[in-house]
């Protein structure tokens, strides 16, 4: 789902930030035919013979979505299912809630992948028909969170507490980002917070990578994070130990 209220400096999916349909221009494949004209309208993409100019995003109704989902039913039998992510899928909570209801009626496992930055009333709409929540916890320190994502984390953490009390299965993902949360102090705060929650089935530490950086140029955007920064394996192992010491399941 397109649209996200956060602006994480390291975002790997810039195509999901805007809720609008966008054009992506992959200049490496351009043959200079100039059929696309200004490269500013969606119609220009239809003229491109090499698909160097592509439309990013598509408006879709629930009936159309269900048709697409049914095409993949053969893959859902062995523990598969449907995941709504983004961007932030809860920005379109009414659509997602109705779609979840329709999908569950088909006997398909459902998942929401969320930053948690939404009104509880929006998250609440999805509870009845969502089996599992993939929930990002980027850091606990409020000032650090706002500095690097553009938003405060109080709403995110409060929603996670409420979600835990609802008895829904939760997988927590922690992006490990250089110069943001790659410190034992911050990881300890995250691990301690996790121990206060119920129904957390696992935690995954996800080290920073720069694979999404090249997308920015295709969208006419600037990637401002330093791609040379890495998280060492030794640092990751020390962070994993913090969670293991608290009997938190890591994946």
pLDDT tens string 130-163? 999 999 999 999 999 999 999 999 999 999 999 9
For residues 74-91, give the mean pLDDT: 91
Polymer length in residues for the chain = 251
pLDDT the model gives residue 170: 98
Residue 83 has pLDDT above 90, yes or no: yes
pLDDT the model gives residue 169: 96
d(CA 198, CA 216): 38
- In order of their start, the domains of the chain are 66-244 (3.20.20.70)
pTM: 0.93
Instruction: Record the tokens describing residue 231, joined without a space.
Output: 């998280």
C-alpha distances in Å from residue 240, one per residue of 174, 190, 191, 195, 200: 11, 12, 10, 14, 16
Residue 1 has pLDDT above 80, yes or no: yes
Of the pLDDT bands very low, low, confident and very high (cuts 50, 70, 90), residue 197 is: very high
d(CA 67, CA 157): 35
Number of CB atoms found within 10 A of residue 223's CB: 18
For residues 5-34, give the mean pLDDT: 93
d(CA 137, CA 172): 7
pLDDT per position as a tens digit, 26-62: 988 889 888 887 777 888 888 888 888 999 999 999 9
- The residues near 43 (Cβ < 8 Å, ≥ 6 apart) are none
**Least trusted range by pLDDT, from 47-51, 126-130, 196-200:** 47-51
pLDDT the model gives residue 37: 77
What is residue 27's DSSP assignment?
A: G
pLDDT the model gives residue 32: 87
pLDDT the model gives residue 78: 75
Long-range pairs of 45-52 with CB within 8 A, sequence gap ≥ 24: 51/26, 52/25, 52/26, 52/27, 52/28
């Amino acid at each position: 789902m397109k649209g996200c209220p956060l602006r994480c400096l390291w975002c790997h999916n810039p195509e999901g930030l805007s809720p609008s349909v966008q054009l992506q221009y992959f200049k490496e494949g351009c043959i200079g035919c100039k059929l696309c004209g200004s490269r500013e309208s969606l119609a220009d993409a239809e003229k491109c013979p090499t698909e160097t100019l592509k439309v990013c995003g598509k408006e879709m109704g629930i009936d159309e979505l269900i048709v697409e989902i049914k095409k993949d039913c053969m893959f859902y039998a062995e523990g598969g299912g449907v995941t709504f992510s983004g961007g932030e899928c809860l920005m379109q909570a009414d659509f997602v809630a109705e779609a979840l209801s329709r999908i569950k009626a088909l006997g398909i496992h459902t998942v929401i992948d969320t930053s948690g930055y939404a009104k509880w009333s929006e998250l609440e709409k999805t509870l009845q028909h969502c089996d599992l929540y993939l929930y990002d916890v980027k850091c606990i320190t409020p000032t650090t969170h706002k500095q690097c994502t553009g938003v405060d984390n109080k709403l995110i953490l409060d929603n996670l507490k409420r979600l835990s009390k609802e008895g829904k299965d939760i997988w927590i993902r922690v992006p490990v980002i250089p110069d943001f949360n790659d410190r034992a102090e911050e990881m300890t705060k995250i691990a301690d917070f996790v121990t206060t929650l119920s129904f957390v089935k696992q935690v995954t530490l996800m080290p920073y990578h720069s694979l999404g950086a090249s997308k920015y140029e295709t969208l006419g955007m600037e990637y401002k994070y330093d791609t040379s920064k890495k998280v060492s394996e030794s640092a990751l192992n020390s962070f994993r130990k913090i969670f293991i010491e608290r009997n938190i399941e890591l994946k």
